[in-house]
Structure 1
Amino acid sequence: MTEPFKVWSKFSVTKGTETFKFKMMEPPIDRLDDVMDLVYKYFMKEESIFKAAGVPKGDQEALKAEYELLVTGYISDELFHTTVCCVDNDNEEIGEIVGASFMTLTKKNTPLELQFHPQSKELLKAFEMILTLPSLTTKMDELNIDQYYDGRGVVVSSKYRGCGIAQEFLKVRRLVCKEKGVPLTCAMMTAIGTQKAAERDGWQTMEELDFEEFGKLHGVSFEGSPKIAKLMAVRID
């Protein structure tokens, strides 16, 4: 059977008494609202920097609309790559979308600047912090690379956590890099779960960030977040 969209991988997992089947694929254009719902429901409300910036406490309708413009713009950018995880129904029908992974291609001598200009104070604060996170941009000569895929987040529905979806997303990032001839991928891992998943997949810690000190620098609190965020990377053979 020919898949209507590119499928990077398929896998199954048993959780309790249930067995789930998933496939990692390119996002169907007509299902982008489902992707945005995941981002809004989980990523914007749970990711450490967004929480510290006060996003979960802001005007939710305004924040959702504003962030949707950002995500839509990202997805349409040829340098941006999105993978979704959906329930595999063993046919051409696209099942429930339960996770998404985002990354963007960063090339040598590309300035690190804010392309998106938030109107809400919460998103403005979040992106101000994001711009000061450790980056591999200044280390490309040292690493002997001229481009890399930089992670922009992984989100998984709470119902399907513990199924290895985040782990599979990291494997797919390797596949994307290999297909496109990109020698390295990295991400700032701000959650313990993704840090552990990256370690299992052979990623190395390039730099660590103390959230308490980072919070003092920006006048925010990272209460409830991991103590350390990690810039992690993996070379593609």
Structure 2
Amino acid sequence: MAPKVWSNFVAKKSDGTQVKVRIEDMPSNRLDEVLNLLSLYGENEDVFVKLLGIPNNPEAAEELKQTTRDMLSASPHNIVICRPDDDSNGDIIGVSITGITLAKDKLEDFKIPSKTKEMEKLWDYYIKLFGLYDICKANSLTSFSDDRGLAVKPGYVDFEIRKELLNVGRKISKANNVSTVFAWMQTKLAQEAAEADGWLTAYEISREDLGRQLGITISEGPPSWKLMYGKSI
């Protein structure tokens, strides 16, 4: 059975060349490619991952990849890939993972025992970050969709592909009978792409205030981090 195609559009390469692409459900045999792309590009734009030096520690980097794999096998997720719009098994250009969180779910309940100090701290940072704002309580929701990984391969204009992946996340949310999808946007590019797709800000915290709460110095990225949401379409 052919993968469901969520979107067809024209993307641009960095040299200005246009290419027809599609966003479709990930075939099961391409999971390792997805994990590698997320490891190489998605996680390298994660401020916490970079602050902890995870890409420079092979053991921690491998543990992060395995943690992602375990997360995907532990509960249902929708994984979509962006690739050339043809019948070839073309290179994956972008990837997005969407999951569903219930009101009763707490991130700490899903914490996997860490083998490295870097991963232990990463869990700590994200548990504190997601504890800043109770999405379900603040919005009277029993569940919501949430972004659990998004990456675009270098060599393409990131903005349009990212925007389209976010749009598909809203479509997936509707297909799962969930009204809203949420995501923490750590970079200016991510925030601008979300805004271009009609996402709004549910919660915002300055880079300095977030650093103080976590006991770290965040010296890069936008002035504030935004927890943004898009309505299902």
TM-score (norm 2): 0.89
Residues 17 and 221 of structure 1: is their aligned pair in 2 closer, same or farther, counting only changes over 3 Å? same
- Corresponding letter in the other structure for 2:92: I
CA RMSD of aligned residues (A): 2.1
- 1:136: how far off? 8.7
Structure 2 counterpart SS, 1:132: helix
Residues 12 and 202 of structure 1: is their aligned pair in 2 closer, same or farther, counting only changes over 3 Å? same
Q: How does 1:27-46 map to 2 (within 5 A)?
A: 27-46=26-45
**Equivalent residue in structure 1 for 2:202, among 195, 202, 206:** 206
Equivalent pairs counted in the alignment come to: 231
Looking at structure 2, the residues matched to 137 and 178 of structure 1 have their Cα atoms a distance apart, in angstroms, of 23
* Superposed CA offset, 1:54-113 (max 9, x none): 2233x22x123212221222222443222111122x21x321012111222011222331
- 1:214: how far off? 2.0
Structure 2 counterpart SS, 1:217: helix
Segment of structure 1 superposing worse, 188-197 or 156-165? 156-165
Query: Do the aligned partners of 1:101 and 1:154 also contact (CA within 8 Å) in 2?
Result: yes
2:11 alignment counterpart: 13
Q: How does 1:36-185 map to 2 (within 5 A)?
A: 36-57=35-56, 59-60=57-58, 62-88=59-85, 90-91=86-87, 93-113=88-108, 114-134=110-130, 138-162=134-158, 164-185=160-181
Identity %: 28
Unaligned runs of 5+ in 1: none
Query: Do the aligned partners of 2:11 and 2:156 also contact (CA within 8 Å) in 1?
Result: no
Query: Do the aligned partners of 2:12 and 2:156 also contact (CA within 8 Å) in 1?
Result: no
Looking at structure 2, the residues matched to 189 and 121 of structure 1 have their Cα atoms a distance apart, in angstroms, of 25
Looking at structure 2, the residues matched to 159 and 207 of structure 1 have their Cα atoms a distance apart, in angstroms, of 32
* Superposed CA offset, 1:136-173 (max 9, x none): 97342442321111112311111123461100011101
